[in-house]
A and B are shown apart, each in its own frame.
Chain A
Amino acid sequence: MTKQIIIPFGPQHPVLPEPIHLDLVLEDERVVDVIPSIGYIHRGFEKLVEKREFTDYVYIAERTCGICSFIHGMTYCQGVEKIMNIEVPERADFLRTIWSEYSRLHSHLLWLGLFADSFGFENLFMNAWRIRERVLDVMEQTTGGRVIQGSCKVGGVRRDISGEKLDEMNKALDIMEKEIEELTTVFLKDDTIRHRTKDVGVLSKEDAYHLGAVGPTARASGVDIDLRKTGYAAYGKLNLEAVIESGGDCYSRCAVRSSELFTSMDIIRQAIRKIPEGPIDVKVTGTPNGEYFTRAEQPRGELVHYIKGNGTKFLVRSRIRTPTLTNIPPLIKMLQGCELADVPVIVLSIDPCISCTER
């Protein structure tokens, strides 16, 4: 029997911007088992619901993540609105959808850059992040914040976007689309990238489904789960085709995210065309008394906020189930049987967000 050795991977590693630790059990250069370990920076701020009023907790929910912050805030608000039977104005739903899709663009471009960095393609990393700056500029111009927007609130949104600005955003998307097309062509056609990602870290459709994979990780294995299809916010009024690949490898996960950039731009264009005039918020009175599991599609996959109120201004419980937490068991499966040199690329391919996970 080949001697087994354990190689520690993380919590500090060049490809990991945030701490996660993996004990890799190796036979020669091949990974035979993996034991994950998180919890290095757990902030425990779900506990803050006991100290912050439910209207203020939106700011805390947003700070779950520095990438998909808007979607966290929106998902939390939707849950509270459901419990309190608040009907949000249609324009607010469209604005929430637009900002959600800009968050997805920002997140996927960030990931493409980090992914390029994981296999040493620094030029591509810089190009991805250069385009991402345009997305962040739009977020800043429309909400006042590049990373933490603070534009969502219980009952609607805090800021409107003028018609002129929407036109400008629409035109800017045309320029961005050409740049993204060039960028993703390199990711999907370049021989060196294909060599590093094709048939690496394969996750079968059955494993993806039963191990709880969500988001691009699931869709790259052929599992059709995209919560936007449930029609929350304004998604029910827009055409949306989920991007599905069948390879289940790192290349497929990259392909899903690359294609989703175009889907997001298409959704934003549709929303700009269809956004109705009207108010952007409603007055909120009363306190939440009840419970609800609200779900949304983050860039990394299905997000669940469980909210429970008892009729006071402080909630009893806020529980945030982030996509990265549920993508950890599928990651273990992907790593079993891979070469040690492929571990960084495979880990990056699930787009781990430890900030979210250590909420």
Chain B
Amino acid sequence: MTLPEQSITAIDIGKLFGSVEQFKNEGYRLVQINCTKVGDVFEINYSFDKDFIFKNLRITVTAETEVPSISGMYWGAFVYENEMHDLFGIQVRGMNIDFKGTFIRTAIKNPFSVTITKGEKP
């Protein structure tokens, strides 16, 4: 079975709210939000699905950027946004439930924001 091709639409952080709102209005559900550290920046992907049509939005931010929460539109987004904050140190503004860094208890602060090469200890 060949899996379907996927698209990721890169958008400016200023257009995040409008784009997410459009998905919400079109009846898409939020599948997930994830973050990846690429060099000095972070890619944040927002995935949506409706009747197995899978679409992604991407914003690219720095560690200092404050990302607006989409939990006002998708109430359940707080789990991903708190996770992103605790593991990567991404600042998210306006979460409906803000655990203030206690959602995931880690021995190292923001462990996923550092890159570890093989053989090196954190």
Q: Which residues of A contact B (CB under 8 A)?
A: 35, 37-40, 42, 44, 46-47, 50-51, 78, 82, 87, 93, 209-212, 227, 229-236, 291-295, 302, 304, 306, 308, 314, 316-317, 319, 321, 325-326, 328-330
Contact = CB atoms under 8 A, between A and B. Distances in A.
B34 to A, nearest CB: 4
A35 B30 CA distance: 21
14 contacts: A42-B104, A42-B105, A78-B3, A210-B75, A233-B1, A235-B1, A292-B6, A293-B6, A295-B54, A304-B32, A319-B32, A328-B76, A329-B78, A330-B76
Contacts of B115: 50
Give the interface residue-count category, chain B.
Answer: 35 or more
Contacts of B4: 230
Main secondary structure, interface of B, reads: mixed
Contacts of B56: 293
Given A35-B97, A210-B74, A329-B76, A294 B104 contact: no
A304 B31 CA distance: 8
Nearest to A229: B52
A321 B31 contact: yes
Interface string B63-97: 00000000000111011100100110000000001
Contact of B105 (A40, A82, A209, A330): A40
Nearest to A292: B6
B117 interface: yes
Given A44-B111, A210-B74, A38 B116 contact: no
Given A210-B74, A292-B6, A39 B1 contact: no
Contacts, number: 102
A325 B106 CA distance: 17
B111 to A, nearest CB: 6
Complex A-B, nearest 8 residue pairs according to Cβ-Cβ distance, in ascending order: A329-B76, A39-B104, A321-B32, A212-B76, A317-B36, A319-B34, A39-B105, A211-B76
Interface in B14-49: 29-32, 34, 36-38, 45, 47
Contacts of A234: 1
B32 A37 contact: no
A47 B112 contact: yes
Contacts of A293: 6, 45, 47, 54, 56
A211 B34 CA distance: 17
A296 to B, nearest CB: 10
A325 B79 contact: yes
Contacts of B105: 39-40, 42
Contacts of B102: 37, 39
Nearest to B36: A317
A35 B117 CA distance: 37
A76 to B, nearest CB: 13
B2 to A, nearest CB: 8
